[in-house]
Amino acid sequence: MNRLKRTLRDRVRLLLLPLSVAPFIAAGPAVMASHDRYLRKHDSGPLPAPVVALSAAEQQRFAKLPAAPGQVPVLVWHGIRNGNDGVSTTQRAFARQVALLKHLGFTAISTRQWSDFRAGRPVTLPARPILLTFDDGWLDAYRGADKVLARNDMRAAMFVITGAIHSGDPDYLTWSELHGMQNSGRWDIEPHAAEGHRQITAAPDGTQAPYYAARKFTRSQGRESLADWERRAGDDLFALRKTFEAQGITPHAFAVPYSDYGQGVRNDPEIPGLLANLLTRQFGSFFVQSSDAAFTTPGRGLAQRFELRSGIGLDQLYAWLRRHSPAASSTAAATAPQRARPAVRKERTRAHPGRAQHQRVQRKRAHRKRAHRSHARHPRNTTTKR
């Protein structure tokens, strides 16, 4: 009996060996996370630009286009990363796109220049100005794009989600990185949303809609009133402006999350008009994007961008540019730097609610499913200008 007990005890003690592995397994995720944090902190600089050159055939195919005086094309990308997630562009594809723009004689302008151009203020623009923008404030966009832009003497604007920045999500740029970008003179930092870059429930059947684009439905309260919607959207935009102010950054334009300001009429036909008004008053201009956007012209409110999603080739980019450029006959006239004419229309331009349905970005990145955590919102501030 004693012997059996001792054997049993010895066998149980053997379990101590496998048991000792438990803390390593338990701490495994923490170690991985710390390594991720470490990489985020120390391996987050710009990546070298890939060497891309347009082939002779391409250079021939993509003939120089006539300048379009008084118009500025605007492009938008999201992330720069490998993997075909529908939204991001690979660094190589991006480099080729920028090389094409360079080949076509485009010069990237700052958002300040663009807003002066929009407002009809006197501003000297290059012969073929273009505005390059990125939405969301992804780290990978900066890492992949920065050296490419530098190599081609280009610059770009990054539209950031301040809520995502504050969430500490490692996939997003931090404020210190954004300030560094701004100080490099290659980047402008512009607003995209505070907490409002997410979906809300818009109907009892669970239909989802972008945060700003619809009245919110909750089981307990039902559908919020239009006044509540306005307060919710207004508060978020106010918080956004406050954050930018606190960071010492002046916004020149706003990029509408999901390119949806309600123009498709989600659950209230009043929203597109109200929101367009609100955004125009707060930011002067607001961007939506599509695969066939018009070039921007002086004015206020809605402005369009051509969206470069995954897999958009040089041919598509070139085709879009050509489609909106003036007819080839006027090529000769457009070599001298253009001076923007003062805006003719002084009245407030209301956004065009009847514009055709814009394609919405399906921002379902499998690897970035992390919802923007909703942090303590800015306390309701009744002084919000409406």
Partner 1 sequence: MDERLAHLRVRPTFVDRVVRLLAVAYLVALLAAVVAYKGAFLDALTTDPWFTAYGIVVSTYIVSRFAFSLFYRTGKDRGMEPHVAIVMPGFNEQEAIGSSLRSLLALDYPAHKLEIVAVNDGSTDNTLAEMRAVAAEADGRVQVIDLGVNQGKRAAMAAGIRATGAEIIAFVDSDSVLEPDALHRLVQGFADRKVGAICGHADVLNLRESWLTKMQGVRYFVAFRVVKAAESIFNAVTCCSGCFSAYRRTAILPHLDWWEHQTFLGRPSTFGDDRSLTNCVLRDWKVRYEATAISHTIVPTTFKQFMTQQLRWKRSWTRESLIISTFIWRKKNPLASIAVYVGAILPLVAPFIAVRTLLWQPIMAGAGFPAIYLLGVYAMAVAYGLYYVARRPRYDGLWVYGIAFCFFYLFFLLWQTYWAIATARSSSWGTRPATAGMEDIPVMTAAERAAVEERRLVEVAS
Site residues, partner 1 (CB under 8 A): 2, 6, 10, 13-14, 16-17, 20-21, 23-24, 27, 30-31, 34-35, 38, 41-43
| Contact of 324 with 104, CB cutoff 8 Å | no
Q: How would you classify residue 206: left for phi > 0, otherwise alpha for psi between -120 and 50, otherwise beta?
A: left
Of the pair 35, 352, the CB lying nearest partner 1 is at 35
Of the pair 2, 329, the CB lying nearest partner 1 is at 2
Contacts of 210 (CB under 8 A, 6+ apart): 196, 198, 199, 200, 257, 258, 260, 266, 360
The sign of the dihedral angle between the CA atoms of 66, 71, 76, 80 is positive
CB of 39 vs partner 1, minimal distance in Å = 9
For 202, the token pair is: 């818009």
CB of 178 vs partner 1, minimal distance in Å = 20
CB of 30 vs partner 1, minimal distance in Å = 5
DSSP annotation of 234: H
For 162, the token pair is: 């301040």
DSSP string, 214-225: S--EETTTEEPP
Of the pair 24, 366, the CB lying nearest partner 1 is at 24
For 228, the token pair is: 């509540």
CB of 16 vs partner 1, minimal distance in Å = 5
Q: Which segments of the chain are extended strands (E)? A: 74-77, 107-108, 129-136, 156-161, 187-193, 199-201, 208-210, 217-218, 222-223, 254-255, 285-290, 301-307
Of the pair 35, 380, the CB lying nearest partner 1 is at 35
Of the pair 38, 63, the CB lying nearest partner 1 is at 38
CB of 175 vs partner 1, minimal distance in Å = 17
Of the pair 45, 122, the CB lying nearest partner 1 is at 45
CB of 371 vs partner 1, minimal distance in Å = 22
124 to each of 71, 127, 305, 380, how far by Cα in Å? 13, 9, 22, 41
Of the pair 11, 367, the CB lying nearest partner 1 is at 11
CB of 44 vs partner 1, minimal distance in Å = 12
Give CA–CA dist 134/175, Å, rounded.
Answer: 16
